[in-house]
Structure 1
Amino acid sequence: MDFMTNAKKYGVRAILLQGLTFLSVLTSAFMIWKGLSLFTNSESPVVVVLSGSMEPAYYRGDILFLNNGYSPIEVGEVVVYKLKDKPIPIVHRVLKVHTQRETGEQFLLTKGDNNSADDRGLYNPGQLWIQRDEIIGRVKGYVPYAGMGTIWMNDYPQLKIGLLGTLCVLSLFSNE
């Protein structure tokens, strides 16, 4: 239907109400995300596994729930870290931990379960260890394959545009 026809049929007030409802849903989702970030002490409390480097522990498309507590990280824990100048976080297992005696600062060496070598090749040039402040969080739980929609939308941008467009149109012209 034409926008002007709908505007006359439902009235400008009804269309504005639908727009405000849509904005309140977006705002609520943002507030929930920020609340979870505060509660988990993680900038990203939920991430999707994007590669097969952690198989068989986690597969591509698994959703991971993170917590970034203050207790020391131990060998064997699965962490998500983000390097400076690299936009995508990495999900790998802690292979070695080095703690400075004077400061108590931790330095970590990581490796994907399905990789043959440690992550030093992924780190920034000259970097041998991950610092504690580069850790986004520790994996505390997961839902298998629940993030495949995110991967499909990244692999096929047309799908993302079509889905967002459809949601916008449905939210604006819905009777409820």
Structure 2
Amino acid sequence: MEFMAQANKKFGIRALLLQGLTFLNVLTSAFMIWKGLSLFTNSESPVVVVLSGSMEPAYYRGDILFLHNGYSPVDIGEVVVYKLKDKPIPIVHRVLKVHTEAETGKQYLLTKGDNNNADDRGLYNPGQLWISREDIIGRVKGFVPYAGMGTIWMNDYPQLKMGLLGTLCVLSLFGNE
């Protein structure tokens, strides 16, 4: 009888270790897929969710955008995602004007949300009139409407995020393989 109790205890530890390894496998696989997409698209963030209504009617809140950051010059009318220094959230807006330095070929861009009345100079850092090509993290190449609403709901309602995480933890602890 004592042998059976030890066997059950040992099997429980093995099952727990197996679940932990499976969880780590899922995390590392997701990380490798993300990094592979980042390399392929030349973008630190190849997929983003539209968080505001500033680009309506082209893109709505909750749309998932697929980005690519090629080396060709940016054109007027392209929708780009840019991130400014000291600002944590990237912005999705359309290129309104392009200024290219003749000597260096370096591009400077002025952007604006389709649904905004004014250009983005009010969003740029103080004293900044243009964003540089280096601020661009990607150009929009495709989108899936409203597929990112879950992300928005979890940001808008933190208790939903905590409930979902708690449920996943409970399911992983008590679920079968």
TM-score tier, shorter chain, comes to over 0.9
| 1:96-122 Cα distance to aligned partner (Å, 9 max, x none) | 000001101000000000001100010
1:27-176 matches, within 5 Å, as 27-176=28-177
Give the Cα separation in 1 of the matches to 2:38 and 2:74: 19
| 1:117-156 Cα distance to aligned partner (Å, 9 max, x none) | 1000100000000101000100000000000000010111
User: Root-mean-square deviation (CA), in Å?
Assistant: 1.3
Relative to structure 1, the CA distance from residue 140 to residue 51 in structure 2 (aligned partners, 3 Å threshold; closer, same or farther) is: same
Give the Cα separation in 2 of the matches to 1:70 and 1:91: 19
Secondary structure of 2:18's match?
helix
Instruction: Indicate conservation of the 8 Å contact 1:65/1:141, yes or no.
Output: yes
Larger radius of gyration: 2
* Structure 1 runs, 4 residues or longer, greater than 6 Å off: none
AA aligned to 1:81 is Y
Secondary structure of 1:44's match?
coil
AA aligned to 1:130 is I
Give the Cα separation in 2 of the matches to 1:39 and 1:109: 27
Secondary structure of 1:11's match?
helix
Relative to structure 1, the CA distance from residue 9 to residue 61 in structure 2 (aligned partners, 3 Å threshold; closer, same or farther) is: farther
CA drift of 1:10 comes to 5.8
Secondary structure of 1:128's match?
coil
Give the Cα separation in 1 of the matches to 2:61 and 2:176: 38
AA aligned to 1:99 is T
AA aligned to 1:76 is G
CA drift of 1:168 comes to 2.2
Instruction: Indicate conservation of the 8 Å contact 1:120/1:129, yes or no.
Output: yes
Give the Cα separation in 2 of the matches to 1:167 and 1:28: 18
AA aligned to 1:13 is R
- TM-score normalized by the length of structure 1: 0.93
Give the Cα separation in 2 of the matches to 1:153 and 1:142: 20
- TM-score normalized by the length of structure 2: 0.93
Segments of 5+ residues of structure 2 without an aligned counterpart are: 1-7
AA aligned to 2:174 is F
Relative to structure 1, the CA distance from residue 118 to residue 163 in structure 2 (aligned partners, 3 Å threshold; closer, same or farther) is: same
CA drift of 1:163 comes to 0.9
